[in-house]
Amino acid sequence: MKEVKTPKKPLILFYVIALVVLLALNMFLFPALINGQIEQVGYSDFLQMLEDGKIDQVQVESDLIVFTDKAEKPQIYETGKMDDPNLVERLENAGVDYGAEIVKETSPLLSFLLSWLLPIALMLLLGQLLTRGMMKKLGGGGLGGSAMSFGKSNAKMYVPSTTGIKFADVAGEDEAKEVLTEIVDFLHNPKKYEQIGAKMPKGALLVGPPGTGKTLLAKAVAGEANVPFFSISGSEFVEMFVGMGASKVRDLFAQANEKAPCIVFIDEIDTIGKKRDGASSLGGNDEREQTLNQLLTEMDGFDGTKGVIILAATNRPESLDPALLRPGRFDRRVPVELPDLKGREDILKVHAAKVRRDPNLDFNAIARAAAGASGAELANIVNEAALRAVRQGRDTVLQSDLEESVEVVIAGYQKKNRILSDKEKLIVSYHEVGHALVAALQTHSAPVHKITIIPRTSGALGYTMQVEEGEHYLMSKEELENKISTFTGGRCAEDLVFRSVTTGASNDIEQATRLARAMVAQFGMTEEFGMVALQAQNNLYLGGDASLACSPQTAAELDRRVIELVKRQYAKAEKLISDNMSKLHELAKFLYEQETITGEEFMRILESPIAMPEGNAYNEGE
C-alpha cells in the first residue's frame, strides 16, 4: 500500500529560497537604498563646511550629528560626534540653526514596511499562485495539506500495491473477513450484482472492543481491493474552527465521488457520530453536530450504484446516533470480537512469524494462558518476548520468553525491586494458595497453572494464573458458584491461619460481588426472582455500567440475595480449606520459599500423602 502525497518538497524549497533572497536584500540592497539620501562625512569635513558657511541646520544627537546644507534641495549629512567642547561656540559663530529637528527621509516604520512586509507579502502571493498551479496539474487532488488547506478533508488516500496488508495478515475474524470480501468483490465486479438486481449496502460498520483488529481489517480491505481507498479518523474532523468539520466531510465525499468506485474508511467514528442531544445546543457541541449532520446528508446524497462504499469502525456502537444506523447508511454491522482460543493461537502465529524463534514453540499453551487477550495484546506479547530474548543476549525467541511476556502483558511488569516484608510475603503466599486450593478441590474449577508472589506493577501482590481447559461460553450455576468460592478462598485462608484479615482481598471481593450480582439479576439463577432481568446492561464493550431496572424494595432484596450467596460460598471455601489445612501449610511454605509454583508442582504436593505437620511455614506460637 502506497500513500499518495502532495508533492510538498518543491514548495518548501521555494519558500527557503525566497527567505534567503529576502535576507540578502535586507542586508545589502535596502540599507543602501534607504540610506542613500544621507551622506556620511568625517568630523573634519563637517568643521570645514561649518567654517565655509555651507551648513543650514544642525541636529546634535547622543552620538552623532546630523546636518543639512544650504542647497535648494538640502542634502542630509551625518557625522560621528567628537568630544568637542567648542562645538556650541563654533555653531553659534557660524550662525546655524542648531536646535533643529531634521526629518530623515524614511521613517523607521516605513522602512520596515518596505524592506520586510512588502517582499513577504509578494512571496506569499507568488507561492499561493504556484501552489494553485501545482494542484491544477494534479487534477485538483487536494489530498495533502497545502499552506492554506483549511476545510480540506486531509483523508489519506491509498492506492493498492503488492506490499499492502492482506486478509491473510488478519488471523481469525472469519465472519468479518467474509463480509468485507463480499464488498471487495462487489467493487471489482459490479456487473455480477447489478444483473441480479442486488444493491450493495452503502456502509458497513466494524464493531468490537479495542485492539481486535478493526483498523487492521480496513487496511486489509485497502490492500485487497483494487480501488482507491480514503482513510480518515473521526477525530480529524474535529477542528479548531467552527464549520470546518462539516466542510471536511463535504470535501471527502466530493473526492470520493470523483474517484468512484472507491472505499472511504472513517476510523473511530464515535468521535463525530455520538448521539445528538437537545441539551448540547446550549453551546459546546454544535460543531460536532454540524459535522454529523453533514455526514448523514452526504451518505444520503450519493448514488449507491456508483460504487462508493463507506466503512467505519467503533468501539462504542451504543453511543452512536441512531440516525447513522438507519437503513441506507451503515446498515451492515460487522462484529469484530475478541479472539477465541483458536483465534489467539493463529494471531500469535501471525506475529511470531515476523521474529526469529525456536521452531518448536507451543503456541497453544500460550494462547490458553492468554485467555481474554485482544489481538493487539497478543501482538504485544510476541514483541515483549522478542525484547526479552534480546535483553538476555539471545537471538531466538524461546517458549520461556513467551510465557514470561504473557505475565508481563496480562498482569503488568514484574517489579522485582518492590520488596515485600517477610510477613507480607507469607500472608500473600497463604492468600494465593487459598485461591488455588479451593479451585483445585472443586471438580469444576479450572486447574491452577501457575502461582507467583512476585509483585506486579498492576498492584496485585500475588497472582494466580488459571487456565480454562477449553473455551466455553455457557457456564452452569454450579460453575459460577465455584468461581465465587475460589475468589473468597484467598481471604478465607488468611483468616483461618492468621486470625486477621488484610486489604489484599479487595479485588477478589469486587469480582465475587459482580459475579454474584450477575447470577441473581442477570442470569436468573435464584428461585426467588426466577427469570426476571433486574439489571439493564448499557455498555457492552466497556464493561460495567449496568443499571438497576427494578423497584427499590426489589433492589434491597437483591442485595440481600447477593450477600447471602457470597457468604454461602465463603463458608464452602472455609470448609474445604479447613479440611485440608496441612496441604495449605505445605503449599504455602513451598510458594513462600520458591516465590513461584507451577501447576504440576502444585498438584504433586496436593496429591502426595500428607506430610508431617511440623512443616508449617507459620506457627502461631512464634
CA distance 352 to 287: 45
Q: Which helix (H) or strand (E) holds 597?
A: strand 596-598
Residues 6+ apart with CB under 8 A from 577: 434, 437, 438, 489, 492, 493, 496, 584
Our finding on whether 494 is near Zn ion (CB under 5 A) is no
Of 445, 361, 457, nearest to 410 (Cα)? 457
- For Zn ion, give the closer residue by CB, 417 or 503: 503
- Let me know if 593 is a catalytic residue: no
Report how far residue 18's alpha carbon sits from residue 616's, in angstroms, rounded to the nearest whole number. 84
Task: Please report where in the chains the cell 457456564 appears, as a residue.
Answer: 475
Cell numbers standing for residue 502? 488484610
Beta bridge partners of 448: 466
CA 398/CA 170 separation, integer angstroms:
24
Q: Are 263 and 228 in contact (CB under 8 A)?
A: yes
Q: Under rule CB under 6 A, how many of the chain's residues touch ligand ADP?
A: 17
Interface with Zn ion: number of residues (CB under 5 A):
2
Longest Cα–Cα distance of the chain, Å, equals 129
What's the CA gap between 265 and 309, in Å, rounded? 8
CB atoms within 10 A of CB 50: 18
Helix (H/G/I), strand (E/B), else coil: 48 = helix
Instruction: Say which entry of Mg ion, ligand ADP, Zn ion, none residue 172 contacts (CB below 5 to 8 A, set by partner kind).
Output: ligand ADP
Q: Are 252 and 237 contacting, i.e. CB atoms less than 8 angstroms apart?
A: no
Pick the closer one to Zn ion by CB: 244 or 587: 587
CA 493 to chain centre: 41
| CB of 57 closer than 8 Å to CB of 96 | yes
Out of 152, 156, 202, 214, the only residue in the binding site for ligand ADP (CB under 6 A) is 214
Which one, 209 or 261, has the nearer CB to Mg ion?
209
Is there binding between residue 294 and Mg ion (CB under 5 A)? no
Nearer to ligand ADP, 213 or 317 (CB): 213
Residue 558's identity, in one-letter code, is L
The owner of cell 464493550 is 541
Which residues on neighbouring strands pair with residue 207, listed in sequence order? 314, 335
Q: Is 164 in the site for ligand ADP (CB under 6 A)?
A: no
At 599, give phi and psi (nearest 5°): -60, -40
Which of 379, 427, 451, 562 contacts ligand ADP by CB under 6 A? 379
Q: Contact between 233 and Mg ion (CB under 5 A)?
A: no
Selected binder of ligand ADP within 142, 211, 228, 455 (CB under 6 A): 211
Binding status of residue 450 toward ligand ADP by CB under 6 A: no
DSSP secondary-structure letter at 236? G
Residue 376: contacted member of Mg ion, Zn ion, ligand ADP, none (CB under 5 to 8 Å, by partner type): ligand ADP
Between 408 and 617, name the residue whose CB sits nearer to ligand ADP.
408
What is the smallest separation between the CB atom of 350 and Mg ion, expressed in angstroms? 17
Q: Is 203 in the site for Zn ion (CB under 5 A)?
A: no
The single residue among 212, 215, 291, 452 that binds Mg ion, judged by CB under 5 A, is 215
Catalytic option among 78, 224, 407, 432: 432
Q: Is 508 a binder of ligand ADP (CB under 6 A)?
A: no
| Interface with Mg ion in residues 365-404 (CB under 5 A) | none
Report whether 220 contacts 160 (CB < 8 A). Answer: no
**Which stretch in 113-121, 165-173, 354-362, 476-484 sits in contact with ligand ADP by CB under 6 A?**
165-173
CA angle 258, 205, 269 (to 5 degrees): 75
> Which region, judged by CB under 5 A, interacts with Zn ion, from 180-188, 368-376, 500-508, 519-527?
500-508
Choice from 78, 173, 236, 407 touching ligand ADP (CB under 6 A): 173
Of 137-145, 488-496, 547-555, 608-616: span binding Zn ion (CB under 5 A): 488-496
**Residue with the closest Cβ to Zn ion?**
490
Taking CB under 5 A as the binding criterion, the range among 208-216, 328-336, 381-389, 582-590 that sits at the site for Mg ion is 208-216
Query: Is there binding between residue 271 and Mg ion (CB under 5 A)?
Result: no
Q: How many CB atoms lie within 10 A of CB 451?
A: 27
* Residue 376 contacts ligand ADP per CB under 6 A: yes
Q: Does residue 490 interact with Zn ion by CB under 5 A? A: yes
Amino acid at 242: V
Residues 298-317 close enough to bind ligand ADP by CB under 6 A: 313
Contact between 549 and 581 (Cβ < 8 Å): no
**Residue 171 interacts with, from ligand ADP, Zn ion, Mg ion, none (CB under 5-8 Å by kind):** ligand ADP
Q: Please report the DSSP string for 536-571 in residue order.
A: EE--SSS---EEE-S-HHHHHHHHHHHHHHHHHHHH
7, 31, 36, 210: which one contacts ligand ADP (CB under 6 A)?
A: 210
Residue whose CB is less far from ligand ADP, 237 or 302: 237
Q: Which of 12, 1, 326 is nearest to 164 (CA)?
A: 1
| Footprint on residues 528-547 left by Zn ion (CB under 5 A) | none
Report if residue 583 touches ligand ADP, rule: CB under 6 A.
Answer: no
Q: Which does 508 bind (CB under 5 to 8 A by kind): Zn ion, Mg ion, ligand ADP, none?
A: Zn ion
613 is in the binding site of which of ligand ADP, Mg ion, Zn ion, none (Cβ under 5 to 8 A by kind)?
none
- DSSP result, 172-196: S-HHHHHHHHHHHHHHH-HHHHHHH
**Contact letters for ligand ADP, residues 317-356 (x by CB under 6 A):** ------------------------------x--x------
Closest CA to 211 of 338, 334, 345, 335: 338
Interface with Mg ion (CB under 5 A): 215
Interface with Zn ion (CB under 5 A): 490, 508
Interface with ligand ADP (CB under 6 A): 170-173, 210-216, 313, 347, 350, 375-376, 379
Q: Active-site residues: which are they? A: 432
